[in-house]
């Protein structure tokens, strides 16, 4: 963790466990990290690694039944873990907001987009109908929607996927939150639109002086846009550090596997992507050892029986959980 006193978000020993017919499912286990003001960090991992559950737990969006949350989530001094619904609603929008993966699940398809932004402004900030409309048009312009006054009256289905995601971002930013959680914000968009959305988030972060948590399976997305990276596997942090250190001197074999499986611009056309052997673990049958051991070429008997804890790397703030860490390497990139 950082020693900087201006921490916007402090997550301490956070765990999220779901009650299922097959028994307790530990989707997030003992996760700790912090986030400074005006900082962008990335949370990366395969599908099922726990990154989305972690982001929703931080937001306080987990269901009230069949789920147990332990640990602490301090957002600008406010405790979010197990807070009341009423208290969380006071913080949503003004302190923290979230951009989800699919804008069509976030937008009401039968309500004009302007009205959906209006509602946020009128309910959360108490604006008049006229002021809310003017501000909504300003927000649409802010996120790069062409002809914002005209688009104000459009329905979500009349917009492209990239424009819909911009509208979702406009809604998220309507009340000027201090923290934006972006969960796979570019998945399903073509490469050009992905770059536009990511550039937009960078620009808005600097303009509005907010912090961003970027959740993604694609290390190429976080390579140049984050100051730190958190790598998750089976609900746990397996490597964390400054982005440049994790890319250049990663020690956890899983981190290298993620990097090697990312498409690279330098590869020839139609180059077959490298895949990670095996399957992600069944969280209902987690063993005492390293969860990645069954898929790891470096695993030993100790890896299968004893779970490694995070240990410090050579660089400050860089930690990894591995009994047989890779030697420090240079020059591995995801682009």
**How high is the pLDDT of residue 335?**
47
| Domain assignment of residue 330, yes or no | no
Residue 315 domain-assigned (yes or no): yes
Question: How many domains does the structure of the chain reveal?
Answer: 2
* CATH code of 43's domain: 3.40.50.300
Q: Are residues 83 and 110 in the same domain?
A: no
- Alpha-carbon distance 218 to 215, whole Å? 9
The pTM of this model reads 0.90
Q: Looking at the structure, tell me whether residues 91 and 110 fall in a common domain.
A: no
Binned average pLDDT, 10 residues per bin, the chain of 335 residues = 68 96 95 96 94 94 91 95 91 92 86 94 92 95 93 94 92 93 85 87 92 92 93 97 94 93 69 82 90 94 95 92 85 48
Q: Is residue 270 part of a domain?
A: yes
292-330 b/e (C-beta count within 10 Å ≥ 16 → b): bbebbeebeeebeeebbebeebeeeebbbbbbbbeeeee
For residue 192, the model assigns a pLDDT of 84
Torsions phi, psi for 92 (to 5 deg)? -60, 130
Q: Do both 147 and 276 map to the same domain?
A: no
Question: Based on the domain organization, do 234 and 141 belong to the same domain?
Answer: no
pLDDT at site 329: 62
Same domain, 18 and 87: yes
Looking at the domain assignment, is residue 198 inside a domain? no
The answer to whether residues 213 and 89 belong to one domain is: yes
Q: Are residues 89 and 212 in the same domain?
A: yes
- Judgement on whether residues 54 and 169 belong to the same structural domain of the protein: no
pLDDT digits (tens, 9 = 90+) for 143-162: 999 999 999 999 999 999 89
pLDDT value of position 325: 95
Question: Range of 143's domain?
Answer: 106-176
- CA pair distance 191, 322, nearest whole angstrom: 34
- Do residue 50 and residue 159 come from a single domain? no
Domain co-membership, 293 together with 172: no
pLDDT score recorded for residue 105 = 82
Sheet with 228-233, edge to edge strand ranges: 96-99, 179-183, 211-216, 40-44, 228-233, 236-242, 319-320, 311-312
- From the number of C-beta atoms within 10 Å of its C-beta (0-12, 13-18, 19+), residue 77 rates as exposed
210 and 311 fall within a common domain? yes
User: Do 47 and 217 touch, CB atoms closer than 8 A?
Assistant: yes
Residue 333 in any domain: the answer is: no
Q: How many residues does the chain have?
A: 335
- Indicate whether 143 and 291 sit together in one domain: no
């Amino acid at each position: 963790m950082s020693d900087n006193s201006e921490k916007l978000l402090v997550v301490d020993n956070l765990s999220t466990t779901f009650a299922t017919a097959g028994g307790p499912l530990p989707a997030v286990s003992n996760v700790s990290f912090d986030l400074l003001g005006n900082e962008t960090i990335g949370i990366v991992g395969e599908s099922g690694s726990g990154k989305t559950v972690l982001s929703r737990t931080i937001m306080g969006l987990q269901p009230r039944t069949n789920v147990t949350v332990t640990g602490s989530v301090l957002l600008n001094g406010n405790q979010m873990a197990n807070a009341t619904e009423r208290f969380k609603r006071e913080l949503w929008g003004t302190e923290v907001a979230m951009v989800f993966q699919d804008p069509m699940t976030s937008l009401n398809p039968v309500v004009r987009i302007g009205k959906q932004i209006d509602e946020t402004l009128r309910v959360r900030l108490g604006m008049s109908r006229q002021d809310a409309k003017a501000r909504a048009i300003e927000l649409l312009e802010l996120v790069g929607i062409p002809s914002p006054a005209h688009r104000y009256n459009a329905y979500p289905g009349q917009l492209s996927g990239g424009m819909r995601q911009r509208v979702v971002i406009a809604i998220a930013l309507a009340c000027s939150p201090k923290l934006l959680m972006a969960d796979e914000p570019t998945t399903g968009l073509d490469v050009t639109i992905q770059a536009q959305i990511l550039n937009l988030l960078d620009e808005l972060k600097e303009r509005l002086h907010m912090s961003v948590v970027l959740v993604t399976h694609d290390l190429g997305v976080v390579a140049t846009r984050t100051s730190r990276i958190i790598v998750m596997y089976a609900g746990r942090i397996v490597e964390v550090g400054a982005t440049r250190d994790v890319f250049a001197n990663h020690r956890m074999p899983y981190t290298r596997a993620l990097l090697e499986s990312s498409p690279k611009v330098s590869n020839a056309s139609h180059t077959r992507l490298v895949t990670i052997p095996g399957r992600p673990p069944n969280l209902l049958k987690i063993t005492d050892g390293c969860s990645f051991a069954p898929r790891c070429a470096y695993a030993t008997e100790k890896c299968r029986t004893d779970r490694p804890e995070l240990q410090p790397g050579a660089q400050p703030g860089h930690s990894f959980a591995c009994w047989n860490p890779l030697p420090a390497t240079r020059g591995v990139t995801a682009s």
